Amino acid sequence: MIYHEHFDVIVVGGGHAGTEAALAAARMGMNTLLLTHNMDTLGQMSCNPAIGGIGKGHLVKEIDALGGAMAKAIDKGGIQFRTLNSSKGPAVRATRAQADRVLYKAEIQTILQNQDNLKIFQQSCDDLIVEQDKVKGVVTQMGLRFSAHSVVLTVGTFLGGQIHIGMENFKGGRAGDPPSIALADRLRELPFRVDRLKTGTPPRIDARTVDFSVMQAQPGDTPTPTFSFMGKQSDHPQQIPCYITYTNEKTHDVIRENLHRSPMYAGVIEGIGPRYCPSIEDKIVRFADKDKHQIFVEPEGLTSYELYPNGISTSLPFDVQLHIVQSIKGFENAHICRPGYAIEYDFFDPRDLKQSLETKFINGLFFAGQINGTTGYEEAGAQGLIAGMNAALQIQGKDAWTPRRDQAYTGVLIDDLATLGTKEPYRMFTSRAEYRLLLREDNADLRLTEKGRELGLVDDERWAAFNNKLEVMEQEAQRLKATWIHKDHPAIDQVNALLKTPLTREASLEDLIRRPEINYHDLTGIEGLGSDATNIQALEQVEIQTKYAGYIARQQDEINKQLRHEESLLPKEFDYSQVSGLSNEVVAKLTDARPDTIGQASRISGITPAAISLLLVYLKKQG
Ligand code: FAD
């Protein structure tokens, strides 16, 4: 049967990528369908109930700056909020929140259900309709055919999903969900490069069987940070602590004695796992000299007894899992309510994608999320938003847009994927970005909201709040420039008390804030020197922009220089062997990767600055 309605965009999969993709397309006015296995699992967190962290928090803020849902949902569903790296510079500060997974999911579902232009349909997608290299729609498990201009695939870990617990293994998309086998088979018929990856999750523990008194409590920050630029502390539900405990020699002995029963070490699992999020058996092997590993004991929610022991992801057999858990301080009598497991799944080489996340071989077909070799809700959400938005832009007949590396971590993520590909599950770190000082969590809105508004992603309420913030920032910056402290100023003694050496000539508040020993809050806390404005975000922004002005300007200069080459286009069918001086290896790498720009070419591993110069000279000669 053919469904009567034609859609502009169909998004397949209601995980983190699918949610943002569907919402973005719908916000841009596209008639959008979200087709997913199960409406009850929309917004489900497959693994640990937490959002953000180093690098990932930046992505969440960027999604929010472009009008997405993730930050709003975690503000409503977060039960412990922290600012990581709070003692370090603003570039690497990151927000992280423990989530009540039920509240998080409920908020995502509310946002989806209230989005104009968006319909949801529960059914598995088993096939794609492709005619002459153009996607035309999808076919569901019961044979229902939906037609669309564009399709965004966001099917996560479900393609050919195989779950492993010890030597037992069975098909599944994640625990409790079916895999996508028919769709995986269909995609393997298309000309994409496909491979296998794996990820894992720890056993879940019943809190009623845990002795918290022997663990270290870790409360959230006060005041609680918010994720969304539109968020308020009053959005947060009740806050509760996490706990910390450790593995010990006994735990490590149990693991060593049973390594032969690990599907990974016995060679049953072929997919490569996340290096930065290893299983406990991996940690024991790779860091054999360590006598303990930290475990964050994280509540799964306010109304749940389940705990997530972060740090002991495993695919060892259940009896070994039980021994591991009960060897740990505080878990001696623990009951496991869900076994840990590993999952292997298909992913597609993201080098077969354009920067817009449209596939290079099938027009109108976009991939986003774990299907592109990434891991993490935030990485998935950011890609989803860009894919949904670019699907919409294509329909509107407009140029695709993806933020550049100097504009957003989302740009770094997509450029890394599309240019370099990945051999292991890719997660975001601040170290992946070369312009960290500019790509801060706190300025994600300044970097992206205006563009989001132009694209149709940002609603009136956010736009008004953003403009108000800009106004307050401008007023505060002017006030700091215009307020002078001189020897007869009533606050001179208090100001001098903050300085290493007393003022010898007059100085503006702006000058003073740039001094290393001066803190904005201490200075503006002096009576008569504070701002009347109540917009904390705006004041914080002025503080950072003033304090780091020199560094920021230097980084901007570097970007401007780099940009001159970054966007020089390389012809599509370029024959690299024509460029004299390029080694065979470089020619092979460039021919394989087919970069769109000189900037992309320069980031391919093994492509030296000398090779880039040869390319530039050749292109210049060609005119
Ligand atoms: P998912 O969240 O997996 O969503 C996919 C959606 O597509 C689901 O709703 C599914 O029902 C639907 N779907 C699939 N196939 C079809 C179909 N054919 N038709 C219709 N609907 C379909 N991330 C980390 O950052 N750290 C970790 O330690 C970590 N561990 C993990 C452990 C496990 C066991 C799993 C399963 C995941 C883990 N992750 C981890 C990854 C994280 O869950 C994913 O990166 C993230 O959920 C990916 O989002 P997504 O939107 O791409 O896919």
Q: What is the pLDDT of residue 248?
A: 97
| Distance (Å) from CA 368 to ligand 1 centroid | 11
- State the closest ligand 1 atom to the C-alpha of 41, by its place in the atom list counted from 1: 9
What's the average model confidence in pLDDT over 466-478?
Answer: 97
CA-wise closest residue to 271 among 418, 422, 134, 384: 422
Handedness of CA 64, 466, 449, 21 (dihedral sign): positive
CA 36 to chain centre: 21
| Distance (Å) from CA 16 to ligand 1 centroid | 8
| Distance (Å) from CA 618 to ligand 1 centroid | 45
**Among 246-250, 276-280, 396-400, 511-515, which is the least confidently predicted range?**
276-280
Query: Distance between CA atoms of 282 and 277, rounded to whole angstroms?
Result: 10
User: Confidence band (pLDDT; 50, 70, 90) for 567?
Assistant: confident
Q: Phi and psi of 574, rounded to 5°?
A: -65, 135
Which of 375, 422, 426 is the pocket-test mutation for ligand 1 (most atoms within 8 Å of CB)? 375
Query: Distance between CA atoms of 74 and 76, rounded to whole angstroms?
Result: 5
What's the average model confidence in pLDDT over 212-222?
Answer: 96
- State the closest ligand 1 atom to the C-alpha of 313, by its place in the atom list counted from 1: 28
Predicted confidence (pLDDT) per residue in 301-338, tens digit = 999 999 999 999 999 999 999 999 999 999 999 999 99
Q: Phi and psi of 286, rounded to 5°?
A: -75, -30
What's the average model confidence in pLDDT over 225-235?
Answer: 95
Predicted confidence (pLDDT) per residue in 6-54, tens digit = 999 999 999 999 999 999 999 999 999 999 999 999 999 999 999 999 9
ipTM metric: 0.97
CA-wise closest residue to 279 among 253, 250, 309: 309
Predicted confidence (pLDDT) per residue in 448-462, tens digit = 999 999 999 999 999
Predicted confidence (pLDDT) per residue in 25-34, tens digit = 999 999 999 9
Residue 87: Cβ within 10 Å count: 6
| Two structure tokens written together for 341 | 């497991």
What's the average model confidence in pLDDT over 564-576?
Answer: 84
- State the closest ligand 1 atom to the C-alpha of 13, by its place in the atom list counted from 1: 7
Which residue's CA is the closest to the ligand 1 atom numbered 4?
15
* Cβ-based burial of 517 (10 A; exposed 0-12, middle 13-18, buried ≥19): exposed
Residue for token pair 């964050």: 296
Ligand 1 pocket at CB < 6 A: 12-18, 35-38, 41, 46-47, 124-125, 154-158, 173-174, 177, 180, 183, 199-201, 277, 343, 369-370, 375-377, 380, 427
Which residue's CA is the closest to the ligand 1 atom numbered 18?
125
CA 113 to chain centre: 23
Residues 6 or more apart whose Cβ sits within 8 Å of residue 525: none
